[in-house]
Amino acid sequence: MQDLTKGSEGPLILRFALPMLVGNLFQQFYNMVDSWVVGNFVGKEALAAVGASFPVIFLMIALMTGLTMGANILIAQAYGAKQMGKVRSAIETTYVSLFWMGIGLSVAGVLWTEALLQLLRVPPEVLPPAASYLRIIFGGSLLMLGYNGVSSILRGLGDSKTPLYMLIIATVLNICLDLLFVLQFQWGTRGVAWATVISQGVSVIGSLVYLNRTHPVLKINIRNLKFSPVLFRLSLRIGIPTGGQQMLVSLGMMFMVAIVNGFGSAAMAGFTAATRIDSLAGLPAMNIGLAVSSFTGQNLGAGKVDRAKAGYRAALRIGLGITTVMILVFLVFPNELIALFSPDPDVVLIGAKYLRIIAPFHLVFTLMFITMGVLRGAGAVMIPFIATLLAMWVVRVPAAILFSTIWGITGVFWAMPMGWLVGTTLTLLYYRSGRWTEKALIRAPDAKAHTH
């Protein structure tokens, strides 16, 4: 556990964000290994199948992010306010709620797999391997929720290193199982799906056993878990808008993929490879944004508004610097990066075009995501939700429909960053209003004395 209310803001946020960034690089790496294995050893259709499933998986992760973000912010604010009874109660409530939600998501997902893929207009030759892959992933929903839940709890307590260790174990195991199941057993897309589920299961179960034996706050008897309806409702106040925001993004991406799918399997494969690489450029901003959420939550819980603002400024300097370096790499080596996933010339051409268009706009994405991180940490979660609703469904999706009829798949690529520009403008305006500073749900008893 780490107290984020003391110490120099910039180095503290960087040290807190770095393990999350490295961990997410590992996570992206093993997602990329899935695509690399099927693209090089199974075929173009298999790569397209994994890509067709990605928007649905992203939707699952978005839902999980919202459900666990509420717990993260509540725990951070309670920990910053030094109310350890509420910290423990929030952790127990999180465990109970995520268990039942994971069961429900698994059942619903397995039943609706093919219907979801048909909504995405997945071509007939890609549908069977995509459905096989996605059904297995849905079956492991409880394990994915478990990992996200434990990680969010630990981040709220100021611990970003333990989730990194969890991910390293999962990544190494996933790569080994990918090679075994696909190259040795010839399981195709089923193999990479089973590798993902098994590796996450081993990681989260091992982590729970370890934490229950060694972590003072997380040492909980499963038989005696207590569910707090009050804290659950507070968690939902944060989690539902956050999850809704992420789901709006996911549904928007599903719509974009449906448009791309209409251009054939080469376009699908190129878009899949490019978005895998593109996701790396967004990782610094996303992880610094998560760090800022915990930092802001703890500091507003302690009543330190000026320190929260100083942390935001420091986070922007760090995030924009890292993102600039990533952008330069993507602009200089786009063809070589796409070719790692598929040697097909059409796939490389389409994927490289996407990277060249989207890369510079990641500076805008970084500014937006770090600003949203502050607002979420404060509990002002409706603003990111509204900004995302407008950016995705009033700007990006209509632009993609219009531009694709004029410029083909290139028009879809240009529609992507337009939403970021709108979302960034709206969140910055709200941040500058200062209203977010009064949104904390849990404060130390004397916190109000320090907020003005």
- State the SS3 of the chain: CCCCCCCCHHHHHHHHHHHHHHHHHHHHHHHHHHHHHHHHHCCHHHHHHHHHHHHHHHHHHHHHHHHHHHHHHHHHHHHHCCCHHHHHHHHHHHHHHHHHHHHHHHHHHHHHHHHHHHHCCCCCCCHHHHHHHHHHHHHCHHHHHHHHHHHHHHHHCCCCHHHHHHHHHHHHHHHHHHHHHHHHCCCCHHHHHHHHHHHHHHHHHHHHHHHHHHCCCCCCCHHHCCCCHHHHHHHHHHHHHHHHHHHHHHHHHHHHHHHHHCCCHHHHHHHHHHHHHHHHHHHHHHHHHHHHHHHHHHHHHCCCHHHHHHHHHHHHHHHHHHHHHHHHHHHHCHHHHHHCCCCCHHHHHHHHHHHHHHHHHHHHHHHHHHHHHHHHHHCCCHHHHHHHHHHHHHHHHHHHHHHHHHHCHHHHHHHHHHHHHHHHHHHHHHHHHCHHHHCCCCCCCCHHHHCC
Give pLDDT, residue 451. 40
Let me know: does 437 contact 308? Beta carbons within 8 Å. yes
Give pLDDT, residue 437. 87
Give pLDDT, residue 120. 75
Alpha-carbon torsion 265, 268, 274, 280, what sign?
negative
pLDDT digits (tens, 9 = 90+) for 337-391: 898 888 888 889 999 999 999 999 999 999 999 999 999 888 888 899 899 899 9
CA dist list (Å): 72 to 9, 152, 153: 20, 5, 5
Tell me the pLDDT band of 335, cut-offs 50, 70 and 90: very high
pLDDT digits (tens, 9 = 90+) for 361-375: 999 999 999 999 999
Q: Which of 235, 194, 196 is nearest to 86 (CA)?
A: 235
Query: What are the extents of the domains in the chain?
Result: 9-450
Which positions ≥6 away from 60 have C-beta within 8 Å? Answer: 105, 109, 137, 138, 141, 144
Min mean pLDDT across 39-48, 181-190, 336-345 is at 39-48
Q: Which of 263, 277, 272 is nearest to 411 (CA)?
A: 263
- Kindly report the number of other CB atoms within 10 A of residue 377's CB atom: 34
**What is the pLDDT averaged over residues 19-35?**
74
Alpha carbon distance 53, 113 (integer Å):
9
Give pLDDT, residue 445. 64
Alpha carbon distance 166, 289 (integer Å):
21
Tell me the pLDDT band of 429, cut-offs 50, 70 and 90: very high
CA gyration radius, the chain: 21
Let me know: does 268 contact 55? Beta carbons within 8 Å. no
**What is the pLDDT averaged over residues 297-315?**
90
Q: Which residue has the higher pLDDT, 76 or 12?
A: 12
**What's at 150, amino acid-wise?**
V
CA dist list (Å): 90 to 103, 206, 218, 234, 294: 20, 22, 11, 10, 15
Alpha carbon distance 94, 225 (integer Å):
10
pLDDT digits (tens, 9 = 90+) for 203-246: 888 877 877 777 777 676 777 778 888 888 888 888 888 778 87
Give pLDDT, residue 247. 78
Give pLDDT, residue 2. 67
User: Given a cut of 80, is residue 440 above it in pLDDT?
Assistant: no
Alpha carbon distance 293, 196 (integer Å):
28
